[in-house]
Amino acid sequence: MNPVRRRDFIALFGGAAAAWPLPARAQRAGRIPHIGIINDSPLWNPFRQQLSELNYVEGRTIALDYRRADTGPDALFAAADALAKIPVDVIAVYGTPPAQAAQQATTSIPIVAVGIGDPVGAGLVASFAHPGGNVTGNTILGTDIAAKRLQILKDAIPTAARVAYVWNPDNMSSGTALQQMLQTAPVLHMKMVSLEARTADDFDRVFAAMSAERPDAVVATLDPFHQTQMNRVIDFLLKNRIPGLFQLRQNVVDGGLMSYGAAFGDLFRRAAVYVDKILHGTKPADLPIEEPVTFQLVINLKTAKAIGFDFPPVLLARADEVIE
């Protein structure tokens, strides 16, 4: 037999069970499909709502298995490994590090990743159009709009010269965004100050550095671990009257000054649609990485007043939402 044809035959035969639609496999095993989620939070509400609109009923026609992993990288890998060993039928994650942990835990269980900054650069997929493995999902285009965020910050604070970027070095996408901002900052007559935080304890050091150096503004990331600490960041900035630019609308609702980023509810809803497609037999490799359609500028005037900051009228007119 031709070696290539023989490999194809073996791959086809060996993968026959994996090619069955997942609901059929679950039914044969006497169980409903299970979706594993790492680090549940209110961000996942649109995901659950979309599953409901797709006629899934939690506990009856679908099960959601949650694992916490908000203490650091080791917890991420443990959570992903636990879900893979259940085993769940699909793993859903938000952010690059959880997606990488899930990818390391399994090469066979489909993974739907939400809000990845650079899925190709992170090694999660071969390309946007043809992911090529067991990972698919969507991107926030974080590395592509990092420069635009700095421009918005400059429009808001024309005198801003020193900008602190609080990021997680374990998140490759955040590191790529930092490199782009370092390239853009001189053009806007800004200097970037890199502040790294891998663990919850690191934020105490970050806050001490900001207190000592007094940056003109702070840029936060969408890193999933950092989001578990975001209330601490917002409180610190409020108490120290430092303007902050976030990427997530919810951070502004919670008291952050302003945000610019993709409409995250849409990304989580689209992820639920991908889960549905996978449960009906579509392979992750055949589902292209989706890009966001809508970006939002959100401003909190109450926070602006609390820190003694006045937004330029032109920027206020550009805002998609103003919280008063």
Domain count for the chain, please give it.
2
Q: What percent of the chain has pLDDT over 90?
A: 80
Using alpha carbons, select from 128, 138, 113, 122 the residue that is nearest to residue 263: 138
Using alpha carbons, select from 203, 155, 144, 127 the residue that is nearest to residue 179: 144
Statement: residue 294 has pLDDT above 90 = no
The token pair that represents 33 in the structure block:
């499909």
273 and 182 in a single domain? The answer is no
Statement: residue 15 has pLDDT above 60 = no
68 and 128 in a single domain? The answer is yes
Using pLDDT thresholds of 50, 70 and 90, give the confidence band for residue 18: very low
CATH value at residue 194: 3.40.50.2300
* CA 82 – CA 65 distance, rounded (Å): 10
135 and 146 in a single domain? The answer is no
Q: Is residue 316 helix, strand or coil?
A: helix
Query: Is pLDDT larger for residue 312 or for residue 15?
Result: 312
Statement: residue 12 has pLDDT above 70 = no
282 and 315 in a single domain? The answer is no
129 and 14 in a single domain? The answer is yes
pTM of the full structure: 0.81
Task: Please check whether residue 204 is in contact with residue 232, taking contact to mean a CB–CB distance below 8 angstroms.
Answer: no
Helices assigned H by DSSP within 157-188: 172-184
165 and 312 in a single domain? The answer is yes
* CA 245 – CA 87 distance, rounded (Å): 39
The pLDDT tens digits of the residues spanning 231-253 come to 999 999 999 999 999 999 999 99
The pLDDT tens digits of the residues spanning 111-154 come to 999 999 889 999 999 999 999 999 999 998 755 688 899 999 99
Statement: residue 41 has pLDDT above 70 = yes
Q: Which domain holds residue 239?
A: 142-262+296-323
187 and 83 in a single domain? The answer is no
218 and 312 in a single domain? The answer is yes
* CA 184 – CA 44 distance, rounded (Å): 33
Give the lowest-confidence range in 11-20, 45-54, 273-282: 11-20
Q: Is residue 239 helix, strand or coil?
A: helix
Q: What is the mean pLDDT of residues 255-284?
A: 96
* CA 324 – CA 309 distance, rounded (Å): 14
How many helices (H) and strands (E) the chain has is answered by: 15, 12
271 and 126 in a single domain? The answer is yes
Task: Please check whether residue 102 is in contact with residue 91, taking contact to mean a CB–CB distance below 8 angstroms.
Answer: yes
181 and 307 in a single domain? The answer is yes
29 and 101 in a single domain? The answer is yes
* CA 50 – CA 44 distance, rounded (Å): 10
Statement: residue 157 has pLDDT above 80 = yes
Edge to edge, the sheet with strand 111-116 lists 63-67, 34-38, 90-94, 111-116, 135-139
Edge to edge, the sheet with strand 217-219 lists 191-196, 162-167, 217-219, 244-246, 258-262, 295-300, 321-323
176 and 224 in a single domain? The answer is yes
The pLDDT tens digits of the residues spanning 220-236 come to 999 989 999 999 999 99
